[in-house]
Structure 1
Amino acid sequence: MESFGTHDGPGVRFVIFLQGCKLKCLYCHNPDTIAMEGGKPYHVDELFDLILKSKSYFGKKGGVTVSGGEPLLQAKALIPLFKKLKEEGIHTALDTNGRILNHFAEALMDKYTDLVMLDIKHMTEDGYEYITGMKNNQTTFNFSQYRERSKKTMWLRYVLIPGITDHPELLVSMGEQFKDYQSIEKIEIQPYHKLGVHKWKELGWDYQLKDARENTENEIETAKEILRPYFKSVVVN
């Protein structure tokens, strides 16, 4: 948990990182949350009490963000937590890869989630499989279409990796895919970094992007310029 997060949604956030994810993204900076086992169990009331202690820092824009891992793997358990948060007037957000869209995920998003931050991994099937280790990139687009139909707020997040996800044709493809969405407030470009590499080593895993480099300022600005015609706001996170 992070009690003073400033990069996971609007304002100051209480960020909860849940254990478990079906993807194994090559650049994951929280690889310790991928395994389904592990983590520390909390009761909903226990989490709620911890969050209330930070409420005074939220101000008008802040609130709670649940990330991971993949939070929608535990959508059923999150429903009572988010319900209590909304009753307290606290803004709620989910940071998700969009792979899970079941009855519990729909109920959580439709009734109690103010903001969905959807991670776009890649625009092609081959690229998606290369980055995540899983097939079926269409799940991301099905998820985004569901959120769009709900008319509730969504942000997109996109990791910009030189030579892998920064090709102009991919950025144009993403813009064309989402240009008519009314629910998208902005897209966040997340420059590639290696801050989580040490965690891969601690887990005994091979970090396959060891030769990838960080973006130059010019590359980031170029990506912003390509995306600006398609989105209301393009920011670098």
Structure 2
Amino acid sequence: MTGRIHSWDLSTGVDGPGTRFVLFVSGCPLRCLYCANPDTWHMRDGRDASADEVMAEVEKYRGFVTTAGGGVTITGGEPLLQPAFTGAVLHRCKEAGLHTALDTSGFLGAWASDELLADTDLVLLDVKSFDAPTYRRLTGGRLAPTLTFATRLDRLGVPVHIRYVLVPGWTDDPSAVDGLGAFLAQLGNVDRLDVLPFHKLGAHKYEALGIDFPLRDTPVPEREDVERVREQFRAHGLRAL
């Protein structure tokens, strides 16, 4: 099984528990205005790699990541744009006894088979906004598929960590935050919710690609605003960090 990948790296923190081997695949159907990885948008900008090649690289770090309580995370781009390849790598990792995490917007959640999700120990689900018109302007896509996918993950009992990027003027509306909190509170599989402050660390990638960074003039959120949003989520019984 062959797919298009951008790169791989080691990461500690928000990509799942412990130190992770993180595989960045190429291709994404969304165009999030704050995207930090515009170099992964297009399949043509990646390179072909087989599941065997990926697993050979994973094996080089296997002892390190398992000792550190980690595993393998597939991110992008959007991993579900290549469901067969993503599923093959996840399955191989599960067979190897490694913890697996899938980092996705959920926009293509319908493309994930039950078998793929059975090989996924954790889904890192990036909910861009809970307001449908804002979601459309922010990403170019629709909110409904992500919510449908979240409900399906709950039905299947797949653990989920929610990612919510706080962008001033875009995702900081209190009513939208409360709406998302109420929706997530109905699910029994959400272990935590990470409120991630918008940043501009990927701006140099836009310059290198010769494209405009749409939120160049958008300020990063103040610390008190981040904490306010976390408290709103906590009010719904969620473990917001």
Q: Which runs of 4+ in 1 moved over 6 A?
A: none
- Matched with 2:204 is 198
- Matched with 1:227 is 233
User: 1:14, 1:197 → 2: CA distance?
Assistant: 24
- Matched with 1:154 is 160
Q: 2:101 aligns with which of 93, 103, 110?
A: 93
2:191 aligns to what SS in structure 1?
strand
State TM-score, norm by structure 2. 0.92
Amino acid at match of 1:12: T
User: 2:139, 2:11 → 1: CA distance?
Assistant: 29
Q: Does the 8 Å CA contact 1:186/1:231 hold for their aligned counterparts? A: no
Q: Does the 8 Å CA contact 1:72/1:100 hold for their aligned counterparts? A: yes
Deviations 1:52-88 (A, max 9, x none): 1111222363100000000011111122222221111
Amino acid at match of 1:168: P
User: 1:25, 1:133 → 2: CA distance?
Assistant: 7
Compute the RMSD of aligned alpha carbons. 1.4
Q: 1:167 aligns with which of 166, 170, 173?
A: 173
Aligned length: 233
Q: 1:57 aligns with which of 53, 64, 68?
A: 64
2:204 corresponds to 1:189: no
1:202 aligns to what SS in structure 2?
helix
- Matched with 2:3 is none
Structure with the higher strand share, 1 or 2: 2
- Matched with 2:51 is 44
- Matched with 1:126 is 133
CA distance 1:75–1:165, change in 2 (3 Å): same
Deviation at 1:231, TM superposition (A): 4.0
**Which stretch has the larger CA shift, 20-29 or 177-186?**
177-186
- Matched with 1:72 is 80
User: 1:231, 1:152 → 2: CA distance?
Assistant: 19
User: 1:232, 1:121 → 2: CA distance?
Assistant: 17
User: 2:41, 2:130 → 1: CA distance?
Assistant: 23
2:138 corresponds to 1:138: no
Amino acid at match of 2:96: E
Deviations 1:115-147 (A, max 9, x none): 00111011111101111022x211110110110
User: 1:196, 1:99 → 2: CA distance?
Assistant: 22
Q: Does the 8 Å CA contact 1:5/1:15 hold for their aligned counterparts? A: no
Overall identity of the aligned pairs, in %: 36
Deviation at 1:149, TM superposition (A): 0.4
Q: Does the 8 Å CA contact 1:187/1:231 hold for their aligned counterparts? A: no
Please, which runs of 5 or more residues in structure 2 have no aligned partner?
Answer: 1-7
Deviation at 1:5, TM superposition (A): 3.7
**Which stretch has the larger CA shift, 58-67 or 144-153?**
58-67
User: 1:104, 1:229 → 2: CA distance?
Assistant: 32
1:113 aligns to what SS in structure 2?
coil
Amino acid at match of 1:32: D
CA distance 1:33–1:103, change in 2 (3 Å): closer
User: 1:102, 1:140 → 2: CA distance?
Assistant: 9
1:10 aligns to what SS in structure 2?
strand
Summarize the alignment of residues 93-112 of structure 1 with structure 2, pairs less than 5 Å apart: 93-102=101-110, 104-109=112-117, 111-112=118-119
CA distance 1:132–1:103, change in 2 (3 Å): closer
Please, which runs of 5 or more residues in structure 1 have no aligned partner?
Answer: none
User: 2:178, 2:90 → 1: CA distance?
Assistant: 36
User: 1:24, 1:231 → 2: CA distance?
Assistant: 31
